[in-house]
Structures are given as structure tokens and as C-alpha cells.
A = this chain, B = another copy of it.
Amino acid sequence: MDTLNIAILGCGTVGGGVAQIISEINNDLTARANKKIVLKRIVELDPQKASDRFNLPLDLFCGSGKELTNEEANRFVQEIITAEDIDLVVETIGGKSDFVYNLCLDILNSGKHLVTANKALLAERGEKIFEAAESKNVKIGFEAAVCGAIPIIKTIKESFTGDKVLSVSGIMNGTSNYILSQMQNEKLEFETALKMAQESGYAEADPSLDINGGDAGHKLILLIKLAFGIDISKEDLSINGIENITKEDIDFASEIDAKIKLICYAKKINGDIYATVRPMLVKNSNFLSEVSGATNAVRINNKYSGIHILVGKGAGSTETAMSIVSDIIFIARYGDKIQNLSAKQQRKFADAREFVFPYLITFHTGNIPGTTGFIATAIGKQEINIETVSHNRHTGEKAMFSVATMPCTLGQIENAIEEIKKEKPGMLLSEPKIMPILY
């Protein structure tokens, strides 16, 4: 029986989970791969900690288990890159630094397969990496990079090959979904919910990438490359986070039987791509509204087979590691025959102003009779049909209400708001908030 020799770079939450699974069910993996699956060595700065946490023998770690300096670690990494006896490298260091970027290029250029959970790197600096894999005829597994345990990459790449993807959407960041769920269920303001999420381990000390939509954006970029074969850079993607969502927004959502979710959304319309990451009001009739806490969900609409939804754990140690180990088995089984991701096609993305959705617009105004009528009229003048106007929240001299529209473009709404500002300076006490409604 052939052997597949593996090295793991970085033995933290995910890398350690990979080592653990490979150790615990090695016989199963070997039978499934029809190749002996051998974890040869691990490079990790603090081997003792990783060994204790994941129950791994110390002699698996480069340096015989002693703590490594960065220089020592680098030397071991270089040894692995040039090693004859390593077939596949698991990169679980993370980040898009030049160090990791060059490391991944070197791994591939040395003729080794690469399996990684590194969404930032592949989404933002993936082009040359996929090219290197292609030119060396080695494979890149990145199932773990998009929604942790959910096998969305292989599902699109191997199970939907008899179809055409029309749209991809979903809840792809567990931290922000956890925060929004807490705001919803416990009637909290954003800051309080964020602090609670940090205290209970659902958000990191620096939660920026999770709450500003950046992390979800990386995942959507990879799915757009995969589903539509189209290369998109982060700058082309319209991204909004959840930092500005308030208790009132959630309240307005409830009023129209919806929940606020950070939604990744990409749709192909007549060859154009509409793609965005932003908070949306998901109607309770839509399955995605049921996805609460740190769970992730991806919704695919296919030409022939209609709507598919995949729900699962978006993060976690063995959860994400499972996707990496499955990639390893897939490469062991099919090696050469696997088609790497190729998204060469460049495409102008539709401007966010052109996105057609029903929208909810929230207005802060003075408590002055005639305001609702004036605003509703301005919206109507832009050929936007109004679905419903919310109950008005009066507090002293201020008022707040929301307008749900029928499908229209964001541009139409922005034009209406410009008109209101021009005709009645001072009527709007702050910039109206505009969120798409997802049925």
C-alpha cells in the first residue's frame, strides 16, 4: 500500500484538531484513502502546550518537543518544504502575511499538495497560489476555509457538476450571527452583546474582521470564484458589517416578521454578478432566519435542482479540522484527477446601487405632523412602491419609523433620500439606514 506523508505547520485550534483526528481514526482514514496516512511531523512554537491540549506525542513535533524560537521554527519549515518524505502540507498558521504567502508558494513549487483553512490568503492573494498548484500539478484543498465543517466547496465542485449555480447566499460568520441572535433574543444593544460574546469565547479580543463583514467577505469571494468561475477582489465587493445595528433595527425587523442576519449574497443575472455582504432582514419564512447562534448556513439556488441549504458548524477545532482531513483523503484518493479552482475570468461587478431587493428604510426625524407623508411621497416619486410603513416610535421631539418597499434598486432609494434632503433640509436627523429584505 502506498503512503501519504503529512506535515502540519501550526498546531493551534485547527492544526491540533487535524493531528488529533489523524491519530484517533488512522485505520479508518487509511482504509478510505487506500493509502497509509502518516502524520510525519508538526512545526509548532509551543509543542508542550499543543501536545497536552490534543493528546499528541511530543516526538511528533520538530525540535524533539522543546519550545522553538521563530528562527528555529522557520528552519524546520524550510526543511519540510525541501523534504523528500513529505507529500502534503497542512498550513494552519493563518493570515495573509508575506511569510505565509511565500510559504504556501514554496510548498506548492516544491511539488507538495497544500491543505489549508486560510480564507484571507486564498481570497485576497490566491491568484499566484492557484497558478503555482496548476503548474506543478499539485492540489490545494481549502474546504475548511469556507464555513468550517460545512462541505460547501466539495458540494459545488463535485456534487453540483450536473447543474449551474444561479445564486449563493448564507450566514457565513458565526460570531456576528451569535451577536445578532443575542441582540434579538435578549433585547441587547450591540456593544453589550459583543462584550458577552467575547466573554463566552464566541468573539475574539479583536473582533473587527468578524463584525465588519471582512471574514464573511473572504468566504463569499471564494464561493464566487468556485460557483461562477469569476475572479473578484475584496475591493470589488460591497461589504457592510453589523457594527451599526441597533435594538430598534431588530425591533423594526420583528414588526415585518423578519430577523436581521449578516448575509453573504451573490447572484448571476444575465451574466452580471451582484454580490454583497451586509445585514439583511431575513423573513421568518426563509430558512436562514432559523439559523441562530454560531451556526453557519449556505443556500444555493441551482438552475436544474433548485434550492439547497447546508447547515453546520462554521468554526471549532475538530469541526474545521474534519474538513481538512477530508481534503487530505480526497487528495489521497484522486490526486492528479482533481481539478483545482480556476477563476481567471474577470468581470465587472454590478454596482451596489443597482441591486434589486425589497428594502427596509429607517428614518429618524423630528416629531412633526406631515413628515411621514412627505417621505412616503418622495419615495413614490422614484417609482418605488411601498409595502408597509411601521408603527412610529415617538420620543419627545423625535420620531423614528421605517418604510418597507417593494423590490427596487438601492439607487432609487438613495435618490429619494437625496430629494428629501434637498427639499426639506433638517427633516432627517441622521442618515437613514437601508437594509435589503430577504424572502
Contact = CB atoms under 8 A, between A and B. Distances in A.
Contacts of A316: 305-306
A257 interface: no
Interface in A194-240: none
Nearest to A312: B308
B302 A307 contact: no
A438 interface: no
Nearest to A332: B161
Interface string A307-348: 111111100101101111111111001100101000000000
A423 interface: no
Contact of A328 (B151, B162, B328): B162
A305 B287 CA distance: 21
B326 A161 contact: yes
A160 interface: yes
Contacts of A302: 149, 322
B334 A162 contact: no
A439 interface: no
Interface in A29-76: 29, 32-34
B155 A159 contact: yes
A25 to B, nearest CB: 6
Given A308-B149, A321-B304, A339 B159 contact: no
A330 B326 CA distance: 17
A243 interface: no
B161 A330 contact: yes
A103 interface: no
A311 B151 CA distance: 13
Contact of A334 (B34, B151, B309, B334): B334
A255 interface: no
B305 A323 contact: yes
B29 A162 contact: yes
Contacts of A339: 32, 34, 333
Nearest to A327: B162
A247 interface: no
**A17, A327, A334: residue with the most chain B Cβ atoms closer than 10 Å:** A334
A21 interface: yes
Contacts of A309: 309-312
A248 interface: no
Task: In the A-B complex, list the 7 residue pairs whose CB atoms are closest, starting with the nearest.
Answer: A162-B325, A151-B159, A149-B305, A305-B322, A304-B318, A162-B326, A161-B329
28 contacts: A17-B304, A28-B164, A29-B161, A33-B161, A34-B339, A150-B308, A151-B159, A154-B154, A154-B158, A161-B329, A162-B321, A162-B323, A162-B325, A162-B327, A163-B322, A163-B325, A287-B290, A287-B311, A290-B290, A305-B319, A306-B312, A307-B312, A308-B312, A309-B309, A309-B310, A311-B311, A334-B337, A337-B337
A164 B25 contact: yes
A143 interface: yes
A155 B151 contact: yes
Contacts of A34: 339
**A149, A304, A325: residue with the most chain B Cβ atoms closer than 10 Å:** A304
